[in-house]
Amino acid sequence: MKLQRWYTGWSPLRGHPVVHPVALPCHPQIASIPDMTASLLTLLDDLATLFDDIAVMTRVAAKKTAGVIGDDLALNAEQVTGMHPDRELPVVWAVAKGALINKAILVPAALVISAFVPALIVPLLMLGGAFLCYEGFEKTWHKLRAPTPGERGEQIARVQAVADPAVDLVALEKTKIRGAVRTDFILSAEVIVIALGTMSSAPRMQQFVSLTVIGLGMVALVYGLVAGLVKLDDLGLTLHRTEGNDASAASARNLGAFVLRAAPVLMKALSVLGTAAMFMVGGSILVHGVPAVDQVIARAADAARAVMPLLGTITRTLLDAVAGIVVGGVIVAFLAAAKGLMGRGTASSVEG
């Protein structure tokens, strides 16, 4: 291959300088530059196509999982309520780190299971759904029934510990953090399985990258919002203490007063929604795992949707929640009966 070099010469016919190409020998490394450039452009085009495919799959999966992520937000906001103000953000950060570990476990595990033992996905999800129903019913029952003397003493001790700055709250928070991370694990598993179902025909590497993006985005979104929610009262207090006599200062104080009044109501609402989400998500998982029940609920939802589209969605959600409440109640009753039988057996053996 030869490289053309240009030089300037004089044209007697045209009467002005002209440019003439001259073919010169070219070094082999220089000759390979066009091939290298073509390969680089091909690689960049392939990467652009890959990232575009990943972005499309991620958007589709995010739309499919938006409802579960919303439930995750309500649940986690409910989990971190009742903390000392100085401990709220450390608790949120601890749960967020646990959520990242959950994603690091679940993404490769889901890919491996879907590749080699896809039949295990539904049973594992149903176990998680049953556990969510159990936790929701146990929490609701615990609030509705009268506390035992031991539980009342434990609650008083916790309140005193929160009020006493000399007490190390980390030990008291570990149970709440473990519960939040455990709940996040179940909800994350559902999100990842739903997302994986939207990209079942894609190559494994694209699935891995898309699921990783969804997992990281889920952690950043959910726990960023949770951190903001638990600090709403601090924001309201800061605004309420704004100094000055001008209109902007007065508006800031009024806004701060509104935020201070609204923050407890919002956190209470999130607590209720978090418990309801346990039944809705858990019940939905269980119902989808039992085709006969799923068909009955689907027909009821279709009949309601014929009257009003929104009514169909509400009917489906409520029936899933009812199924979750029933399953949770059965599990709590079974465990209570088993505990009672074990207690009687232990007492009989001691007397004997």
Q: Locate 38 and state its tokens.
A: 């073509």
The reply to whether 104 and 15 lie within a common domain is no
User: Do both 59 and 22 map to the same domain?
Assistant: no
How far, in Å, CA of 309 to CA of 313, rounded?
7
Contacts of 325 (CB under 8 A, 6+ apart): 133, 136, 137, 279, 283
Which residue in 273, 285, 290 sits closest to 129, CA to CA?
285
Let me know the angle formed at the C-alpha of 22 by 16 and 28, rounded to the nearest 5 degrees: 150
pLDDT for 137 equals: 92
Give yes or no: residues 48 and 18 share one domain. no
In a domain, 255, yes or no: yes
Question: Are 17 and 151 members of one domain?
Answer: no
**86 plus 26 within the same structural domain:** no
Looking at 265, 289, 313, the residue that finishes a domain is: 289
Residue that terminates a domain, selected from 256, 274, 289: 289
- How much is the pTM? 0.65
226-252: b or e for each residue (b if 16 or more CB lie within 10 Å)?
bbebbbbbeebeebbeeeeeeeeeeeb
Residue 4 pLDDT:
45
Q: In which domain, by residue range, is 21 found?
A: 2-31
271 shares a domain with 145 = yes
Q: Contact 75/274 with Cβ under 8 angstroms?
A: yes
Residue 285 within any structural domain of the chain: yes
Domain boundary among 231, 263, 289: 289
Place of tokens 């990281």: 216
For residues 195 and 188, the answer to whether their CB atoms sit within 8 Å is: no
Residues 6+ apart with CB under 8 A from 337: none
For residues 16 and 159, membership in a common domain is answered with: no
208, 150: one domain: yes
Q: Are 334 and 311 in contact (CB under 8 A)?
A: no
Q: Is 89 in the same domain as 120?
A: yes
- Phi-psi sector, 268: left (phi>0), alpha (psi -120 to 50), beta: alpha
**pLDDT at residue number 88:** 76
The residues, any chain, with a CB within 8 Å of residue 195's CB and separated by 6 or more, are: 61, 62, 64, 65, 210, 211, 214
Number of neighbours of residue 337 by Cβ within 10 angstroms: 10
Segment-wise mean pLDDT, segments of 10 residues, the chain, 352 residues: 44 45 50 57 54 53 51 60 69 87 91 86 84 87 73 62 56 75 82 75 81 86 82 84 85 89 81 82 88 93 91 93 94 89 63 54
The pLDDT of residue 11 is: 44
Return the pLDDT at 1: 45
- Round to whole Å and give the CA distance between 273 and 321: 12
**Residue 308 falls inside a structural domain:** no
Query: Could you tell me if 105 and 247 lie in one domain?
Result: yes
| 177 and 96, same domain (yes or no) | yes
Give the count of domains, the chain.
2
Looking at this protein, which amino acid is placed at residue 36?
M
**Inside any domain, residue 307:** no
In a domain, 17, yes or no: yes
Q: Does the residue 74 lie in any domain? A: yes
Residue 320 is assigned to a structural domain of this protein: no
Residues in the chain: 352
The answer to whether residues 62 and 22 belong to one domain is: no
